Amino acid sequence: MNIYLIEEYVNRLKKGDIERFAIKQGIVLDEMEVNLIYEYIKTNYKTIIYGNPKDILMEIKAKVKPITYNKIESLYIKFKDKIDIFTKNIRES
C-alpha cells in the first residue's frame, strides 16, 4: 500500500474516527482506551503495518481491558493479512 496515502490518512485521523470504527466492530472503548489507541496509531503506524508490532501489542495489552485487547488483536490479524496481500499485488504489478 502506498505509504504516502497511509501517512496522509494517519495525519488526518481523529479520535472520533477510532470511536466510530470501534463501535462498528462491536467494541465499546472508554476515553482512556481511545486516547491510548490514537497515540499508538499516530506514533507507531509504520511499525504496526510494515514491521513487527509484537512489543507494541504487548504494551497495549497491559493498558486496555482484556476484551478490548482480544478484539484489537483479532482485527490486527484480519487487516494485516489484507494489507499484506494488497502490497504483494502492488509489488508484482
R_g (Cα) of the chain, nearest Å: 14
pLDDT of residue 92: 62
pLDDT of residue 91: 59
Banded pLDDT at 89 (limits 50, 70, 90): low
Residue corresponding to grid cell 485487547? 69
Look up the pTM and report it: 0.84
Q: pLDDT tens for residues 25-82?
A: 999 999 999 999 999 999 999 898 888 999 999 999 999 999 999 999 999 988 887 7
Residue boundaries of the structural domains of the chain: 3-92
Residues 6+ apart with CB under 8 A from 37: 18, 29, 60, 64, 72
pLDDT of residue 3: 74
